[in-house]
Structure 1
Amino acid sequence: MNLSRRGFLATGAAAAGMRAVPQAAKPNGRRILTLVYDKALGMMRAVERVVP
């Protein structure tokens, strides 16, 4: 998959929008943000998970 600059910015904007969701809609817990290399995209991406 060839990700263009516009697609990358759109992905970043969508991720930022998810962070803006009210906290009441998200489960409580500790968030862990990890950067992983995605071979399919050929770039690093952030993976966020919630740990109770």
Structure 2
Amino acid sequence: MAKLTRRGFLTATGAAVALRAVPTLATRRGGRRILTLVYDKQLGMMRAVERLMP
């Protein structure tokens, strides 16, 4: 696992979110997506958790 700085993590997370958001914007259906940042002790860094609320 590569060591990520806070800036590197935010950049990688932003790129991943953008890649996932573009296709869903075209086929957007009802419901809300909630993105939460949580600290993962096993990885030793923050990670994004996305939930779909109908």
Q: TM-score band, normalised by the shorter chain? A: 0.5 to 0.7
Q: TM-score, normalised by structure 1?
A: 0.60
SS of the counterpart of 1:21? helix
Q: CA RMSD in A?
A: 2.4
- Structure 1 residues not aligned, in runs of 5+: none
TM-score, normalised with respect to structure 2: 0.58
Q: How does 1:1-52 map to 2 (within 5 A)?
A: 2-5=1-4, 11-12=12-13, 13-23=15-25, 24=27, 27-52=29-54
Percent identity between the aligned chains?
53
- Aligned pair count reads 48
Determine which structure has the larger helix proportion and give its number: 2
